[in-house]
Amino acid sequence: MKVLVTGGAGFIGSHVVDLYLENGYRVVVLDDLTTGRISNLNPAATFYKVDIRSPQVSEIFEKEKPDYVNHHAAQVDVRRSVAEPHFDAEVNILGSLNLIECAKRFHVKRFIYISSGGAAYGEPVYLPCDEDHPVNPICQYGASKHTVEHYLYMYQVNYGLNYTVLRYPNVYGPRQDPNGEAGVVAIFTGKMLNHEQVIINGDGNQVRDFVHVRDCARANILVTQREDVNGIYNLGANHGTSINEVFHILKRITGYQQEVVHGPAKLGETYRIYLDASKAGRDFGWEPSFSLEEGLKDVVSYFRAAEMKQ
């Protein structure tokens, strides 16, 4: 079986590629390397440097004839989505539609789409958010990611394209870029190991659920292996952790000596959210295996060995 993974040179996508290969799948990677890294690419995968909006995507589908599509590529910067909503929609909606059309045309068995649990739900009405929670995003990124879910439903009803949506929580782990628009775990770890000032946007009482990247990658394998897993699924820790708590755990692990400084909150950022992933547990046996403490120790070890040498 062959899987086409978009964003397969990125932080999360590269872990998904590795796990597919370990499980005997042939893998084709599409990545324009805007945020992905060549160093993340598994050499056993076939690689095309291409934008998901490109007409070349159709040629790749025709040549490679994938059985499955795993769509991780996206514009993921919330602040850029607010500042450049047209660009965000072009990549996340039109780029995804390009892939969906190709999947329909070339008879793909299943389209696995990575959506956002943290950004799509908006400010929660109740916690933890399950899949029936109202979807009211408060940033353009959340709106663009959710829009594609409607296209997938439509293409299943009208054309028989099977799909699975995985709504991710805050994902952290090895290969996450500590610079620029990254998750707080990577940013904090990079700053702490370089003895630089850590700044928390807002008061630090924002709550998220944090799931290790290898746990998220495992969910992708599980849904690919099952023919009966259709529709939308949350991934999450089923409980929340504040940004202040993450700071203090990492401070202890790294031996960081400085105190935190607080900056202005981000526009469009949900204040408090965590997801109910019990449906994923019932339908395909997924639950997180890393505790937050174990996962953060893994990140610090990786950064000390890899990122701090660059």
Give the bridge partners for 46, in sequence order. Answer: 28
pLDDT over 80 at 279, yes or no: yes
- Residue 118 pLDDT: 81
Catalytic residue among 25, 48, 68, 141: 141
Element (H, E) at 89: helix 85-89
Mean pLDDT of the region 152-157: 98
Q: Break the chain into its structural domains and give their ranges.
A: 2-170+210-234, 173-208+238-309
What are φ and ψ of residue 212, in 5° steps? -65, 145
Two domains, one topology: 2-170+210-234 and 173-208+238-309: no
- Residue 308 pLDDT: 56
Mean pLDDT of the region 37-51: 97
pLDDT over 80 at 240, yes or no: yes
Query: For 89-129, how does the pLDDT look when each residue is reduced to its tens digit (9 = 90+)?
Result: 999 999 999 999 999 999 999 999 999 988 889 889 999 99
- Contact, 20 vs 5, CB < 8 A? yes
Cα atoms in the Cβ-side hemisphere of radius 13 Å centred on 109: 15
Mean pLDDT of the region 215-239: 96
Question: End-to-end CA distance of the chain, in Å?
Answer: 36
Domain covering 2-170+210-234, topology:
Rossmann fold (3.40.50)
- Residue 182 pLDDT: 64
Domain covering 173-208+238-309, topology:
UDP-galactose 4-epimerase; domain 1 (3.90.25)
Query: For 188-223, how does the pLDDT look when each residue is reduced to its tens digit (9 = 90+)?
Result: 999 999 999 999 999 999 999 999 999 999 999 999
Mean pLDDT of the region 235-260: 96
CB burial of 20-49 (b: ≥16 within 10 Å; e: otherwise) equals bbeeebbbbbbbbeebbeeebbbeebebbe
Q: Is the omega angle on the peptide bond into residue 128 within 30 degrees of 0, that is, cis?
A: yes
Residue 161 pLDDT grade (very low, low, confident, very high; cuts 50, 70, 90): very high
Tokens describing residue 115 = 């959506």
Catalytic, 20? Answer no
Mean pLDDT of the chain: 95
Reported pTM: 0.94
Residue 181 pLDDT grade (very low, low, confident, very high; cuts 50, 70, 90): low
84 Cβ contact partners less than 8 Å away, ≥ 6 residues apart:
none
- What's the CA gap between 269 and 257, in Å, rounded? 28
- Residue 268 pLDDT: 73
Residue 269 pLDDT grade (very low, low, confident, very high; cuts 50, 70, 90): confident
Give the bridge partners for 113, in sequence order. Answer: 71, 165
100 Cβ contact partners less than 8 Å away, ≥ 6 residues apart:
111, 148, 151, 152, 155, 161
Mean pLDDT of the region 219-244: 96
